[in-house]
A and B are shown apart, each in its own frame.
Chain A
Amino acid sequence: MMLLLIFISSGLFLGWSLGANDAANIFGSAVGSRMLSFRRAAIIASIFVILGAVFQGKGGAETLNELGTVDALGGGFTVTLCAAFTVYVMTKRRLPVSTSQAIVGAIIGWSLFTGNATDMSVLRKIFITWISGPVLGMLFAAGLYLLLRWALRRAKIHVIKLDSYIRTGLILAGAFGAYSLGANNIANVMGVFVSSAPNMILDFGIFRLDGVQLLFLLGGIAIAVGIFTYGQRVMQTVGNDILSLNPEAAIVVVLAQALVLFLFSSSTFSELVAKTGLPPLPLVPVSSTQVVIGAVLGIGLVKGVREIKMKTLGGVAVGWIATPVIAGILTFFLLFFMQNVFDLEVTKGMSSADTVEKLVQPPRILNMIIYGLLIMSLAVITLLLTYIFRQQKLRLKTENELLIQQNQNYMVQQSISNLEISAIQKQNESLHSKLENKRKEFIDIALNLTEQRMFLESLLEELDQLQRLNDPNTLGIRLKGLSTRIRQRMSFSTEKENFYSQVEQVHKDFQEKLSTGFPHLTEQEKRLAMLIRLNLSAKETATLLNISPKSVEVARYRLKNKLKLKKEENLTQYIIDL
């Protein structure tokens, strides 16, 4: 069993590369256009590829065996390895290549090396199928596209609803495509190992799996691994190429490809055709990529595309010849090497009759009902646990997100509260300073009032005394004295001082800037600057400074010089901007 596993590793590798590359033909457009997530596409593709391989994969494998029954494990290993290597090298060099053609070439190489005759009628059948695959793909695609276009034009479905239908359609067509791919192409992966398959039947109660199907199950799993590990990249690059078609065309391409692969792998359909008297359809592995090219061409023809890329078609045709030839030559030389250097058995030299005899030996039937139930139960439990774990994880994630959001909200609220507090504090401070100013103002007014009253009372007293005087000389002197007192009083010294102290209080910053920036300014000049900042007129300034308006002009000129302003600069603007 271990030996079987080691030898089929080359087949598994081929399966892996098939999964990585060909799944893109099925789900590429859906994933590339983000209509379907890769995870979902990969799960659907894997399940249906395995189902197709296990339940409908025998037909193609039988045809390959008719071409050449590789009866030794070593031979099978070498044949598949050479096919895989050819596919790898040609893909790397961006040459059109198909696993089906590589494996057929490798089998012919094996037949030539071992001296087994190649059945030319089978080869002809295979070759015709290769050509008819893309041609059928083209015809199906053209027909389906015309049908779809006619239906859509008649149905007038809303574009958004159509999108939902297409999404569902892509999943269904993709599932069908994956099933057909598994059914048709599993022969490439495991076909040459069929004669080495264990002669046993596993009975699962509802269904039975024989040795070949088990082998195909392994191949199917290898394809699924290929889809999961490398499919995403290919789907996104290849998918975007197909995407230049619209989604409706993409669905047609997938469906046409699925139909062609299904037709060339379904023995039931082949028998149905045979019953009608027509020649039965050959069950041959065909290249899904080439069918896709045919399908795209079919749609192009319907849409009236005049330019057909002859280079692509030429590439396909060259692939039909070059790939089998390269794989065949490679197999021939590697078999020689394996047989003579590693002493590996590449053929048992069994005749077809021997093989048939081996196949008709009664198989060992293993009752797998209990194991099956166990496996099923295990699978159900695993699924349940995964589901619960995922739900738990999702719940935690949601809770975490909620917590983060709440935290953010709290932080925002906190910063808003802080802002509000600081705004209130500022407001309080300003109110406090206003209150203080008002208080000072009231005290000043009160003091002023008292002082004024006292001055007026003294004036009244003086006037009373003057009224009683009879001597005109004394009266004149006293009146002159009175007039001087009144004039002195008019200089408003106390009020002015109060005014300046209040203004200085309000414009504290300005005062500081003036003192630090221009330390050589006199007290009088600083006051003048302050009055200019208040935008007072020359007359008002003159009154407050107790000088004439003319002197104000001179003082402004001097201040301008001291502030080192140019002639064209405006003193008022400069002081306001300071």
Chain B
Amino acid sequence: MLSFKHANKSIKQIDQFLDKVDEGNLIFKEGVRNYLNGNRESFLDNLKTISALESDADILRRKIENTLYTQSLMPQLRGDIMRLLEELDNIIDLAKHNLFQFDVEVPYVPTELNQELIRLTELSVAAVESLIPAARSYFRDPDAIKENLHRVYLFEKEVDKMADSIKRKVFQEMQGLKLSEKFHLRYFTLHIESLSDKAQQAADLLNIMAIKRSL
């Protein structure tokens, strides 16, 4: 009966962890939008929120790891589950890091690029948003994983295309920008893009995990 108690506790913690990652992802989107629109106060508020979420997610991940190993729950699957949680934790870490980069480096973004960068952020965040339900369904309904995963791959491809077009525009069309500014914009495009890349990595792992769990 003790294992049921620990199981319920771990289930709750995993759900909370996934909520944190999801919220962190949304805050990242809001943060980038606020930065581009020049809402400094809201942006700083977003920074604080994402920091707290990332720290909470870290604590939860460690707690889950501890329960799974000390109570020897799911000896066969826990390795995979821990890897998945680590991948998801990396995503919120990256989101926080990227948002802080905006604060530290204060990149100059020409107004005409705002809409495209917002769209890029939305697509990248959408990839992560599709990953979370896939991760949730691994725990309860492994057959549904694939339905959500194909969206992650689709958004990741779209992000690649969008990032490519922004970089082309910056380097080929915006002659008024200094080379250093162009480089800076390229790095920030990469920062936003990296979120969907991480989502794709986690999706690959989930794909394999789904095969292992299929009955």
Contact = CB atoms under 8 A, between A and B. Distances in A.
A158 interface: yes
User: Chain A: interface secondary structure?
Assistant: helix
A325 B11 CA distance: 57
B166 interface: no
Given A34-B75, A153-B143, A160 B7 contact: yes
A522 to B, nearest CB: 57
Interface stretch (A161-169, A259-267, A388-396): A161-169
Most B C-beta atoms less than 10 A away, residue of A34, A35, A145: A35
A158 B215 contact: no
Contact of A160 (B75, B76, B139, B141): B139
B7 A163 contact: yes
Contacts of B7: 158, 160-161, 163-164
B72 interface: yes
Nearest to B68: A160
Contact of B138 (A33, A159, A163, A164): A159
Contacts of B174: none
B65 to A, nearest CB: 13
Contacts of A153: 141, 143, 215
Contacts of B72: 34-35
Interface in A146-179: 148-149, 152-153, 156-161, 163-164, 167
Interface of A: 33-35, 145, 148-149, 152-153, 156-161, 163-164, 167, 243, 246-249, 303
Nearest to B74: A163
Nearest to A152: B215
Given A160-B11, A160-B73, A163-B73, A246 B215 contact: yes
B113 interface: no
A303 B74 CA distance: 22
- What interface size band does chain B fall in? 20 to 34
Interface of B: 3-4, 7-8, 10-11, 14, 72-77, 81, 138-141, 143, 212-213, 215
A35 B75 contact: yes
A262 to B, nearest CB: 25
B74 A158 contact: no
Contacts of A167: 3
A159 B213 contact: yes
Nearest to B81: A159
B74 A160 contact: yes
Given A153-B215, A159-B74, A246-B76, 12 more contacts: A145-B215, A153-B143, A156-B140, A156-B141, A157-B140, A159-B138, A160-B10, A160-B139, A161-B7, A167-B3, A246-B215, A247-B76
A158 B76 contact: no
B3 to A, nearest CB: 5
Contacts of A148: 215
B165 to A, nearest CB: 41
Given A158-B139, A159-B74, A159-B140, A164 B215 contact: no
B85 to A, nearest CB: 13
A164 B6 CA distance: 9
B95 to A, nearest CB: 26
A33 B141 contact: no
A158 B7 CA distance: 9
A126 to B, nearest CB: 36
B164 to A, nearest CB: 39
Contacts of A159: 74, 77, 81, 138-140, 213
Contacts of A145: 215
Nearest to B141: A156
A161 B143 contact: no
Nearest to A159: B139
A227 B212 CA distance: 32
Contacts of B74: 159-160, 163
27 contacts: A34-B72, A34-B75, A149-B215, A152-B215, A153-B143, A158-B140, A159-B74, A159-B77, A159-B139, A159-B140, A159-B213, A160-B10, A160-B11, A160-B73, A160-B139, A161-B8, A161-B11, A163-B73, A163-B74, A164-B4, A164-B7, A243-B76, A246-B213, A246-B215, A247-B76, A249-B215, A303-B215
A35 B75 CA distance: 7
Contacts of A157: 140
A46 B86 CA distance: 42
Contact of A161 (B4, B75, B215): B4
Nearest to A153: B143
A155 to B, nearest CB: 9
Contacts of B143: 153
Contacts of A35: 72, 75
A545 to B, nearest CB: 51
Most A C-beta atoms less than 10 A away, residue of B74, B141, B213, B215: B215
Nearest to A160: B7
A153 B214 CA distance: 10
**10 A-B pairs with least C-beta separation:** A163-B74, A34-B75, A149-B215, A160-B7, A164-B7, A156-B140, A164-B3, A159-B139, A156-B141, A161-B7
Nearest to A161: B7
Most A C-beta atoms less than 10 A away, residue of B7, B8, B77: B7
Contacts of B73: 160, 163-164
Nearest to B13: A160
A247 B143 CA distance: 17
Contacts of B76: 33, 243, 246-247
A387 B110 CA distance: 77
Nearest to B67: A160
A152 B74 CA distance: 17
A475 B3 CA distance: 113
Contacts of A33: 75-76
A163 B213 CA distance: 12
A243 B213 CA distance: 14
B61 to A, nearest CB: 15
A160 B85 CA distance: 14
A163 B81 CA distance: 13
